[in-house]
Amino acid sequence: HDSETVTETVASSPKRLHIAVIDTGIGITPDYTDKLFQPFIQIDSALNRQHNGTGLGLALVKCIAELHGGQVRVTSEVGVGSCFTLDLPLITVTPSAHEVLSQQISNSEVSSTTGSASSLILLAEDNEATTKTVSRYLRAKGYCVIVANTGQDAITLAQSRHPDLILMDIQMPGMDGLEATHQIRRDPSLVKVPVLAMTALAMTGDRERCLAAGANDYLRKPVKLQELVATIQRLLSVNNAFS
Ligand code: MN
Protein backbone atom coordinates (compact mmCIF):
# COMPACT_ATOMS: atom_id res chain seq x y z
CA HIS A 1 0.00 0.00 0.00
CA ASP A 2 2.78 2.39 0.89
CA SER A 3 4.53 1.84 -2.42
CA GLU A 4 1.33 2.63 -4.32
CA THR A 5 1.11 5.95 -2.52
CA VAL A 6 4.72 6.71 -3.39
CA THR A 7 4.19 5.79 -7.04
CA GLU A 8 1.25 8.20 -7.30
CA THR A 9 3.31 10.98 -5.78
CA VAL A 10 6.18 10.23 -8.15
CA ALA A 11 3.92 10.35 -11.19
CA SER A 12 2.48 13.70 -10.17
CA SER A 13 5.80 15.23 -9.08
CA PRO A 14 7.46 17.24 -11.86
CA LYS A 15 10.38 18.28 -9.63
CA ARG A 16 13.49 16.14 -9.63
CA LEU A 17 16.64 16.17 -7.55
CA HIS A 18 19.99 15.73 -9.33
CA ILE A 19 23.13 14.89 -7.37
CA ALA A 20 26.51 14.53 -9.08
CA VAL A 21 29.62 13.17 -7.34
CA ILE A 22 32.88 13.72 -9.21
CA ASP A 23 36.18 12.14 -8.24
CA THR A 24 39.71 12.30 -9.58
CA GLY A 25 40.33 8.59 -8.99
CA ILE A 26 41.63 5.79 -11.18
CA GLY A 27 38.67 5.92 -13.55
CA ILE A 28 36.74 3.03 -15.10
CA THR A 29 37.09 1.56 -18.57
CA PRO A 30 33.90 1.40 -20.69
CA ASP A 31 33.97 -2.43 -20.34
CA TYR A 32 33.38 -2.07 -16.62
CA THR A 33 30.85 0.76 -16.46
CA ASP A 34 28.05 -1.69 -17.37
CA LYS A 35 29.15 -4.25 -14.78
CA LEU A 36 29.68 -1.66 -12.08
CA PHE A 37 26.11 -1.78 -10.75
CA GLN A 38 25.90 -5.57 -10.59
CA PRO A 39 26.20 -7.10 -7.11
CA PHE A 40 29.59 -8.50 -6.03
CA ILE A 41 31.43 -7.12 -9.06
CA GLN A 42 34.67 -5.31 -8.29
CA ILE A 43 37.23 -4.06 -10.76
CA ASP A 44 40.08 -5.59 -8.76
CA SER A 45 38.72 -8.99 -7.77
CA ALA A 46 41.97 -10.60 -6.54
CA LEU A 47 41.65 -12.27 -3.14
CA ASN A 48 44.41 -10.11 -1.68
CA ARG A 49 43.47 -6.85 -3.39
CA GLN A 50 44.29 -3.62 -1.58
CA HIS A 51 40.93 -1.91 -2.17
CA ASN A 52 38.44 -3.47 0.19
CA GLY A 53 34.67 -3.73 0.05
CA THR A 54 32.12 -6.32 -0.94
CA GLY A 55 31.04 -5.00 -4.34
CA LEU A 56 27.53 -4.29 -3.07
CA GLY A 57 27.50 -0.51 -2.61
CA LEU A 58 26.66 0.58 -6.14
CA ALA A 59 24.26 -2.32 -6.67
CA LEU A 60 22.34 -1.18 -3.56
CA VAL A 61 22.40 2.47 -4.67
CA LYS A 62 20.95 1.51 -8.07
CA CYS A 63 18.31 -0.73 -6.49
CA ILE A 64 17.22 1.88 -3.91
CA ALA A 65 17.26 4.72 -6.46
CA GLU A 66 15.03 2.72 -8.84
CA LEU A 67 12.64 1.78 -6.02
CA HIS A 68 12.23 5.53 -5.46
CA GLY A 69 11.56 6.13 -9.15
CA GLY A 70 15.04 7.47 -9.81
CA GLN A 71 18.17 6.35 -11.59
CA VAL A 72 21.95 6.26 -11.29
CA ARG A 73 24.46 6.81 -14.08
CA VAL A 74 28.21 6.98 -14.41
CA THR A 75 30.57 8.57 -16.88
CA SER A 76 34.28 7.94 -16.53
CA GLU A 77 37.67 8.35 -18.08
CA VAL A 78 40.60 6.11 -17.14
CA GLY A 79 43.29 8.00 -15.24
CA VAL A 80 41.11 11.12 -15.01
CA GLY A 81 38.17 10.22 -12.79
CA SER A 82 34.48 9.39 -12.67
CA CYS A 83 31.20 11.23 -12.35
CA PHE A 84 28.26 9.45 -10.71
CA THR A 85 24.86 11.06 -11.05
CA LEU A 86 21.79 10.28 -8.98
CA ASP A 87 18.44 11.47 -10.23
CA LEU A 88 15.42 11.26 -7.90
CA PRO A 89 11.85 12.57 -7.93
CA LEU A 90 11.56 15.32 -5.33
CA ILE A 91 8.90 14.31 -2.79
CA THR A 92 7.92 16.22 0.33
CA VAL A 93 7.98 13.79 3.25
CA THR A 94 5.09 14.28 5.66
CA PRO A 95 5.85 14.04 9.41
CA SER A 96 3.61 10.97 9.74
CA ALA A 97 5.59 9.04 7.10
CA HIS A 98 8.78 9.98 8.89
CA GLU A 99 7.42 8.72 12.21
CA VAL A 100 6.47 5.40 10.60
CA LEU A 101 9.99 5.02 9.20
CA SER A 102 11.62 5.77 12.60
CA GLN A 103 9.36 3.19 14.21
CA GLN A 104 10.33 0.58 11.60
CA ILE A 105 14.02 1.27 12.15
CA SER A 106 13.79 0.98 15.94
CA ASN A 107 11.79 -2.26 15.60
CA SER A 108 14.54 -3.81 13.50
CA GLU A 109 17.28 -2.97 16.02
CA VAL A 110 19.25 -5.91 17.32
CA SER A 111 17.60 -7.28 20.42
CA SER A 112 19.94 -8.60 23.05
CA THR A 113 19.32 -12.04 24.42
CA THR A 114 19.96 -13.71 27.71
CA GLY A 115 21.90 -16.47 25.97
CA SER A 116 24.42 -18.29 28.12
CA ALA A 117 27.01 -18.33 25.32
CA SER A 118 30.27 -16.82 26.45
CA SER A 119 32.50 -18.48 23.88
CA LEU A 120 35.39 -16.48 22.49
CA ILE A 121 35.06 -15.77 18.78
CA LEU A 122 37.90 -14.44 16.65
CA LEU A 123 36.51 -12.32 13.82
CA ALA A 124 39.05 -11.96 10.98
CA GLU A 125 37.63 -9.32 8.67
CA ASP A 126 39.16 -6.28 6.96
CA ASN A 127 35.97 -4.34 6.27
CA GLU A 128 35.25 -1.92 9.09
CA ALA A 129 31.48 -1.78 8.58
CA THR A 130 31.17 -5.58 8.56
CA THR A 131 33.43 -5.86 11.62
CA LYS A 132 31.27 -3.39 13.56
CA THR A 133 27.97 -4.99 12.54
CA VAL A 134 28.99 -8.59 13.16
CA SER A 135 30.89 -7.96 16.41
CA ARG A 136 28.06 -5.84 17.83
CA TYR A 137 25.51 -8.53 16.97
CA LEU A 138 27.59 -11.38 18.37
CA ARG A 139 28.27 -9.45 21.61
CA ALA A 140 24.53 -8.79 21.93
CA LYS A 141 24.09 -12.56 21.65
CA GLY A 142 26.46 -13.07 24.58
CA TYR A 143 29.70 -13.98 22.78
CA CYS A 144 33.10 -12.47 23.49
CA VAL A 145 34.56 -11.13 20.24
CA ILE A 146 38.13 -10.26 19.31
CA VAL A 147 38.92 -8.78 15.90
CA ALA A 148 41.79 -9.22 13.44
CA ASN A 149 41.96 -7.11 10.28
CA THR A 150 44.46 -9.19 8.30
CA GLY A 151 45.24 -12.85 7.78
CA GLN A 152 48.54 -12.48 9.62
CA ASP A 153 46.85 -10.84 12.63
CA ALA A 154 44.29 -13.65 12.64
CA ILE A 155 47.04 -16.26 12.99
CA THR A 156 48.84 -14.29 15.73
CA LEU A 157 45.63 -13.74 17.72
CA ALA A 158 44.50 -17.35 17.27
CA GLN A 159 47.84 -18.56 18.66
CA SER A 160 47.81 -16.19 21.64
CA ARG A 161 44.10 -16.31 22.59
CA HIS A 162 42.95 -19.78 21.45
CA PRO A 163 39.41 -18.75 20.46
CA ASP A 164 36.52 -21.24 20.52
CA LEU A 165 35.72 -20.40 16.91
CA ILE A 166 37.23 -18.35 14.08
CA LEU A 167 35.07 -16.39 11.68
CA MET A 168 37.29 -15.97 8.63
CA ASP A 169 36.74 -13.47 5.83
CA ILE A 170 38.40 -14.86 2.68
CA GLN A 171 39.10 -11.57 0.91
CA MET A 172 41.65 -9.62 2.94
CA PRO A 173 44.64 -7.50 1.89
CA GLY A 174 48.07 -9.09 2.26
CA MET A 175 47.47 -12.67 3.39
CA ASP A 176 43.98 -13.82 2.36
CA GLY A 177 41.68 -15.95 4.49
CA LEU A 178 42.39 -19.20 2.62
CA GLU A 179 46.12 -18.96 3.38
CA ALA A 180 45.44 -17.89 6.99
CA THR A 181 43.15 -20.93 7.42
CA HIS A 182 45.86 -23.20 5.94
CA GLN A 183 48.41 -21.91 8.42
CA ILE A 184 46.04 -22.14 11.39
CA ARG A 185 45.37 -25.78 10.53
CA ARG A 186 49.14 -26.47 10.51
CA ASP A 187 49.40 -25.34 14.16
CA PRO A 188 48.81 -28.44 16.35
CA SER A 189 47.19 -26.34 19.10
CA LEU A 190 44.65 -24.89 16.64
CA VAL A 191 43.94 -27.94 14.54
CA LYS A 192 40.50 -28.47 16.08
CA VAL A 193 39.23 -24.90 16.35
CA PRO A 194 36.17 -24.50 14.11
CA VAL A 195 36.74 -22.11 11.21
CA LEU A 196 33.70 -20.57 9.54
CA ALA A 197 34.67 -18.95 6.23
CA MET A 198 32.81 -16.00 4.70
CA THR A 199 33.17 -15.02 1.05
CA ALA A 200 31.66 -12.40 -1.18
CA LEU A 201 32.93 -14.07 -4.35
CA ALA A 202 29.67 -15.79 -5.26
CA MET A 203 31.55 -18.13 -7.55
CA THR A 204 31.05 -21.86 -7.95
CA GLY A 205 33.73 -23.78 -6.14
CA ASP A 206 33.96 -21.27 -3.25
CA ARG A 207 32.70 -23.78 -0.76
CA GLU A 208 35.11 -26.48 -1.93
CA ARG A 209 38.09 -24.13 -1.82
CA CYS A 210 37.23 -22.99 1.71
CA LEU A 211 36.74 -26.54 2.96
CA ALA A 212 39.94 -27.70 1.22
CA ALA A 213 41.84 -24.93 3.05
CA GLY A 214 40.60 -26.36 6.34
CA ALA A 215 37.39 -24.44 7.04
CA ASN A 216 34.55 -26.37 8.71
CA ASP A 217 31.80 -24.46 6.98
CA TYR A 218 31.19 -21.52 4.70
CA LEU A 219 28.69 -18.67 4.48
CA ARG A 220 28.16 -16.43 1.50
CA LYS A 221 28.13 -12.66 2.01
CA PRO A 222 26.07 -10.70 2.71
CA VAL A 223 25.80 -12.92 5.79
CA LYS A 224 22.39 -13.09 7.44
CA LEU A 225 23.06 -12.44 11.13
CA GLN A 226 20.56 -15.02 12.43
CA GLU A 227 21.97 -17.66 10.07
CA LEU A 228 25.47 -16.72 11.22
CA VAL A 229 24.60 -17.27 14.89
CA ALA A 230 22.81 -20.55 14.09
CA THR A 231 25.89 -21.81 12.22
CA ILE A 232 28.23 -20.69 15.02
CA GLN A 233 26.09 -22.48 17.62
CA ARG A 234 26.06 -25.64 15.51
CA LEU A 235 29.85 -25.63 15.01
CA LEU A 236 30.48 -24.94 18.70
CA SER A 237 28.16 -27.75 19.84
CA VAL A 238 29.71 -30.23 17.38
CA ASN A 239 33.17 -29.25 18.56
CA ASN A 240 32.25 -29.53 22.25
CA ALA A 241 30.78 -32.98 21.63
CA PHE A 242 34.13 -34.19 20.26
CA SER A 243 36.43 -32.55 22.81
MN1 MN B 1 37.33 -8.65 3.03
Q: How far is the CA of 89 from the centre of ligand 1 (A)?
A: 35
pLDDT tens for the chain, 243 residues: list them.
Answer: 333 334 444 445 578 999 999 999 888 888 887 788 887 766 666 666 666 666 788 888 999 999 989 999 999 998 999 999 999 988 776 666 556 655 555 555 444 443 345 899 999 999 999 999 999 999 999 999 999 999 999 999 999 999 999 999 999 998 999 999 999 999 999 999 999 999 886 667 888 899 999 999 999 888 899 999 999 999 999 877 766
Q: How far is the CA of 170 from the centre of ligand 1 (A)?
A: 6
Q: How far is the CA of 48 from the centre of ligand 1 (A)?
A: 9
Q: How far is the CA of 98 from the centre of ligand 1 (A)?
A: 35
* Residues ≥6 apart with Cβ < 8 Å to 123: 131, 134, 135, 138, 145, 146, 147, 148, 167
Q: How far is the CA of 130 from the centre of ligand 1 (A)?
A: 9
Q: How far is the CA of 226 from the centre of ligand 1 (A)?
A: 20
Q: How far is the CA of 201 from the centre of ligand 1 (A)?
A: 10
Q: How far is the CA of 54 from the centre of ligand 1 (A)?
A: 7
Give the closest residue to 178 by CA, choosing from 157, 160, 161, 201: 201
Q: How far is the CA of 4 from the centre of ligand 1 (A)?
A: 38
- What number of residues does the chain have? 243
Q: How far is the CA of 176 from the centre of ligand 1 (A)?
A: 8
**What is the Cα–Cα distance from 195 to 177, expressed in whole angstroms?**
10
Q: How far is the CA of 15 from the centre of ligand 1 (A)?
A: 40
Q: E-assigned strands of the chain? A: 16-22, 71-77, 81-89, 120-124, 144-148, 165-169, 195-199, 217-220
Q: How far is the CA of 169 from the centre of ligand 1 (A)?
A: 6
Q: What is the pTM of this model?
A: 0.57
Q: How far is the CA of 127 from the centre of ligand 1 (A)?
A: 6
Task: State yes or no: cis peptide before 222, omega within 30 of 0.
Answer: yes
Q: How far is the CA of 122 from the centre of ligand 1 (A)?
A: 15
